[in-house]
């Protein structure tokens, strides 16, 4: 069973859930914003995926579930449960393993290139993916690399885009899971943020135009990423997978 941890209604599993459905892999979703509780045991799940959200990892007084989530993530690392943190999820796993989470010098919103580091080029998470490719971004914070961890990718605006901090324990600052509908919902929900950055980051229409241009390559990249991650996690047999076009 794959566990998704949601922090806000509009930031769900997206195309990751599509991939799991297509390959008959069961999953469950815990939505902390709706009052669901953080599970106490990591090994109850074969893989845990921690999704994004607008909160900061240190806003534990306002978002009390972050304390319980930090405890769970520490257990995940100790028990070597395969884990993927996306955006906020990546910042949370970095914090849980002793790294700092701080404001990025600039907000990174829209479609941007990331570059694989030497470690990233050798890591199975990015197997058969190009050294440089475009991803969707929406973040203002950034994570450090914990002691013993590895930086797997970087971008012009954010030096730490992907990290490995244990066996099959990963965090990515960018989004692989977004759909067109999710981009629309985020842009509508965070209109004030986009307006405050007008002329600096992409607006809603530019993000959607870019999605239309990049959709095919983006979908192929996401598929390969999921194959890589779930194969390493032991949920997917090599050469036996499917993904809707």
Query: Is there a domain that residue 114 lies in?
Result: yes
Please give the Cα distance from 147 to 162 (Å, whole number). Answer: 15
Report helix, strand or coil for 126: helix
Of 226, 217, 201, residue with least CA distance to 111: 201
Please give the Cα distance from 74 to 191 (Å, whole number). Answer: 35
Quote the radius of gyration of the chain (alpha carbons, Å). 17
Of 69, 14, 61, residue with least CA distance to 36: 69
Whose tokens are 């045991």? That residue is 41
Of 24, 103, 11, 108, residue with least CA distance to 51: 11
Residues with a catalytic annotation lie at 87, 175, 177
Domain region containing 48: 2-232
Query: Is there a domain that residue 237 lies in?
Result: no
User: Which parts of the chain register pLDDT below 70?
Assistant: 238-245
Contact yes or no for 69/5 (Cβ under 8 A): yes
Query: Is there a domain that residue 37 lies in?
Result: yes
Total count of domains within the chain? 1
Residue 214 host element (H or E): helix 204-232
Query: Is there a domain that residue 76 lies in?
Result: yes
Please give the Cα distance from 144 to 166 (Å, whole number). Answer: 15
pLDDT of residue 242: 57
- Give 56-84 pLDDT, tens digit per residue: 999 999 999 999 999 999 999 999 999 99
Please give the Cα distance from 32 to 66 (Å, whole number). Answer: 9
Q: What pTM, to 2 d.p., does this model score?
A: 0.95
Hey, CA dihedral for 135, 142, 56, 6, is it positive or negative? positive
pLDDT of residue 42: 80
Please give the Cα distance from 79 to 174 (Å, whole number). Answer: 26
Residue 84's domain is classified under what CATH number?
3.40.50.880
Please give the Cα distance from 14 to 28 (Å, whole number). Answer: 13
Query: Is there a domain that residue 185 lies in?
Result: yes
Query: Is there a domain that residue 239 lies in?
Result: no
E strand segments, 59-211: 83-86, 101-116, 132-143, 150-154, 162-164, 169-172
Contact yes or no for 184/134 (Cβ under 8 A): no
Query: Is there a domain that residue 136 lies in?
Result: yes
Question: Could you count the other beta carbons within 10 Å of the beta carbon of residue 34?
Answer: 10
Query: Is there a domain that residue 245 lies in?
Result: no
Contact yes or no for 67/38 (Cβ under 8 A): no
E strand segments, 32-100: 47-50, 83-86
Using alpha carbons only, give the angle 89, 93, 98 rounded to the nearest 5 degrees: 145
């Amino acid at each position: 069973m794959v566990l998704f941890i949601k922090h806000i209604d509009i930031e769900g599993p997206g195309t990751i859930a599509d991939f799991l459905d297509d390959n008959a892999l069961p999953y469950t979703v815990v939505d902390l914003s709706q009052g669901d509780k953080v599970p106490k045991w990591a090994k109850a799940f074969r893989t845990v995926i921690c999704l994004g959200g607008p909160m900061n990892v240190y806003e534990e007084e306002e978002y009390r579930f972050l304390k319980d989530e930090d405890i769970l993530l520490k257990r995940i690392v100790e028990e070597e449960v395969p884990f993927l943190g996306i955006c906020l999820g990546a910042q949370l796993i970095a914090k849980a393993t002793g790294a700092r989470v701080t404001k990025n010098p600039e907000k990174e919103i829209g479609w941007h290139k990331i570059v694989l580091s030497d470690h990233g080029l050798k890591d199975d998470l990015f197997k058969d993916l190009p050294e440089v490719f475009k991803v969707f971004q929406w973040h203002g914070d950034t994570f450090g690399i914990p002691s013993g961890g590895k930086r797997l990718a970087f971008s012009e605006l954010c030096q730490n885009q992907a990290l490995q901090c244990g066996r099959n324990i990963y965090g990515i600052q960018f989004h692989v899971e977004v759909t067109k509908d999710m981009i629309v919902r985020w842009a509508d929900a965070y209109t004030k943020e986009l307006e405050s950055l007008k002329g600096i980051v992409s607006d809603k229409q530019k993000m959607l135009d870019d999605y239309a241009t990049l959709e095919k390559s983006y979908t192929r990249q996401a598929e390969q990423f999921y194959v890589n991650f779930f194969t390493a996690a032991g949920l997917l047999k090599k050469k036996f997978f499917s993904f809707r076009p």
